[in-house]
Structure 1
Amino acid sequence: MEKHWPARFWKGKLPAPDQTTVIMHFTLKQLQSFVAIARDNNVSRAAETLSLSQSAVSSSLNELESQLGSLLFDRIGKRLQLNEVGQRILPHAVELLARADELERLVRSGEALGNFKVGATLTIGNYLATLLISDFMRTFPGTRVGLKVANTSQIVEGMRQFDLDIGLIEGDCFDPDLDVIPWREDELVVFCAPDHRLAKKTTISLDDLSEENWIVREPGSGTRAVFDRAVAGKLQQLDILLELEHTEAIIRAVESQLGIGCVSRLALEDALGRGSLIALPTPWFDLRRHFYFVLHKQRYLTAGVKQFLALCQQSRQPGAAI
């Protein structure tokens, strides 16, 4: 299958010649302070992140603004808010720091993979990402990969703010600053406990489903978005008893016969195999979906990020371990 990587995945970006002299006046310390403050909007929190004093971080920012001849933040009381100039500069500063980290690792170890942070939505984070990261770190033992697990809207926001290097999501994303690349297919399953009344019926109707209590994911999650689209206009009523942030909590609630649920088949695979949960036929609903990679269009892709993306792509191929 053709890979839908943007061109920058394959070709590194070089700074324009007329930028080189200007960039050489900046220090990494200044750029690190700027990026840290931009992420936290607060000098004291940035200082904690960098393990520096507040005065050192403030001085680095002042020096950078002095060299640029422009303020990068609006000062609102004790809070710093990134202004328009700062917003334009931020992705370039993040890229320069990533390249510097890659260069340092290349010199020290002969490898240029570097450390990076992955953001994954709950289904992917709990059932795929940990396995992929474990495989990656066994293959490249000098690399460290951080993982943040949250719902789709939170992962997208983390990518927008440059807090994450890669997003693995199961919901929709239409942010113009982000590349959204299809990864692998998934489907949701409506399910119940084996002693539930619907598990004993030979045929199930839409009326049967309309009479049930539903236990589903919270709004803002990719799973909930697919579920809402699938059932819209199909059920006479939709009685949502519980909205839960964690798939395992939904599974436990359904096992306790509080109602019926709808989550990824990936999360139900073991329970369906054991017979502790029963999949219900729902031919009226289109519960298919895709998992996606999310990359920031202005963020430099290090060798480690590229290798990790390649590993994720291989995992969807027939015969792959995951």
Structure 2
Amino acid sequence: MKYTLRQLEVFLAVAHFDNITRAADSLSMSQSAASGALRDLEDQFDIRLFDRVGKRLKINELGRLLRPRAEALLERAQSLELEMAQHQAVGQLKIGATMTIGNYLAVGLIARYINEQPKAKLDLKVANTSAIVAQVVNFDLDIGLIEGEIQHPDLEVIPWRRDELVVFCAPDNPMARKPQLSDTDLQAVRWILREQGSGTRQTFDWALHGLLPNLNVLLELEHSEAIKRAVAEGLGIGCLSRIALQESFDLKTLVPLKVAGRDFSRQLYLVINRHKYRSAGIERWIELCHKI
């Protein structure tokens, strides 16, 4: 075999950082050793995987073509190493979750996973849908749990569970006395909403198509709890997942509102890079997700 796994590690690290020094640091190597490994890999096959732009190395077309296959090969090798060392066969996972899922569902899943695999190490990254998708595409995350609809040639999108958004307000808001809200009502109130790029905002925009230019959006916030607090303080009405609102509804600190003729239902998804090797840990995580 003309290449080594270490050379592939260097190739993938440089592809991630676009910089040989940062790639070497991430692998606990000297810069000269990393440069030598990359040079040997390219010279053995008489190829170039990066374009040199000053001190930066920018992955080229051939590098982009080989990257997912190198990533999959390295994943398989690492999984085999773990199993041969008789460590946790399920392995380590880097999980990404959108805000609602990360704050209200992911912790329970992590607890179940760790109860099964006490030695397992899980990293959880919570961000909006666009950020999680970008990191799954770039192999920075093993799997993502998202709220928004997405299409990408490198992603496998797996339907997970149903959810719905609920329009809500403070108990003393005049809208709370209405049996249902009309389109006129929706245009008359002030809105506290999630930011653009979030799955929740995407579903909201779809549900209120035709009204968006006439809505009075007072605030756009990244966190559901901040939106709930602003609505409870009387700044306006909001729209969030029922998952995030159920406790507040039970305590009657917030109240749900019925909206005429608008569909706020949605699908939650699991996303994984099509080129990524599905380790035992990834497969078990998907199984646990489908059990809740």
Same structural fold, with TM-score higher than 0.5 when normalized by the shorter chain: yes
CA drift of 1:204 comes to 3.5
| 1:82 alignment counterpart | 59
Give the secondary structure class of the aligned counterpart of 2:118. coil
**Compared with structure 1, are the counterparts of its residues 273 and 114 closer, same or farther at alpha carbon in structure 2 (3 Å cutoff)?**
same
User: Which residue, out of 210, 224, 227, partners 2:187?
Assistant: 210
Inter-partner Cα distance in structure 2 for 1:50 and 1:133: 27
1:130 matched to 2:107? The reply is yes
Give the residue type in structure 2 aligned to 1:297. R
Q: Secondary structure at the match of 2:261?
A: coil
CA RMSD of aligned residues (A): 1.5
Residue aligned with 2:85, SS: helix
Say whether the 8 Å CA contact 1:210–1:236 is kept in structure 2: no
Structure 1 residues 130-182: Cα deviation after superposition (integer angstroms, max 9, x where no partner): 22112101211122111111111111111111111111111111111111111
Q: 1:303 aligns with which of 251, 260, 280?
A: 280
Selected match of 2:48 from 48, 71, 76: 71
Give the aligned residue type for 2:243: L
What residue number does 1:219 align with?
196
The separation in 2 between residues aligned to 1:236 and 1:72, in whole angstroms, is: 47
Q: Give the structure 2 partner of residue 106 of structure 1.
A: 83
1:33 maps to: 10
Shift of 1:32: 1.1
Counterpart contact for 1:207–1:236, Cα < 8 Å = no
Contact 2:157 2:272 in 1 (8 A): yes
Aligned sequence identity (%):
50
Per-residue Cα deviation, 1:250-299 (whole angstroms, up to 9, x for no partner): 11111111110001000011111111111001132100000011111111
**Which whole-Å deviations, capped at 9, do the CAs of 1:49-95 have from their partners, x for residues lacking one?**
22222222212111111122211111111111111111111111111
- Unpaired runs of at least 5, structure 2: none
3-state SS of the aligned residue for 2:290?
helix
Distance 1:238 1:226 in 2: 15
- Alignment deviations for residues 86-127 of structure 1 (CA, whole Å, 9 cap, x no partner): 111111111121111111111112642111211111111111
Q: Which amino acid aligns with 1:250?
A: I
Deviations 1:183-231 (A, max 9, x none): 0000000001112121234453332221111011111111111101111
Counterpart mapping for 1:236-251 below 5 A? 237-251=214-228
Q: Which runs of 5+ in 1 are unaligned?
A: 1-23, 316-322
Match of 2:72 in 1: 95
- Counterpart of 1:195, as a letter, is D
The answer to whether the 8 Å contact 2:205/2:212 transfers is no
Q: Distance in 1 between matches of 2:280 and 2:112?
A: 16
Within-5 A mapping of 1:146-295: 146-234=123-211, 237-295=214-272
Q: Which amino acid aligns with 2:42?
A: E
Alignment partner, residue 54 of structure 1: 31
Distance 1:203 1:268 in 2: 19
Whole-angstrom CA distance in 2 between matches of 1:289 and 1:202:
23
TM-score using structure 2 length:
0.95
- Relative distance call for 1:64 and 1:190 in structure 2 (3 A) is same
Letter in 2 for 1:134: A
Q: CA separation in 2, counterparts of 1:92 and 1:173?
A: 23
The residue type equivalent to 1:283 in the other structure is A
Larger deviation, residues 105-114 vs 179-188: 105-114
Amino acid at match of 2:97: A
Q: Is contact 2:180–2:259 with CA below 8 Å preserved after alignment?
A: no
Structure 1's 145 and 235: CA in aligned 2 closer, same or farther, altered over 3 A? closer
Deviations 1:5-27 (A, max 9, x none): xxxxxxxxxxxxxxxxxxx3322
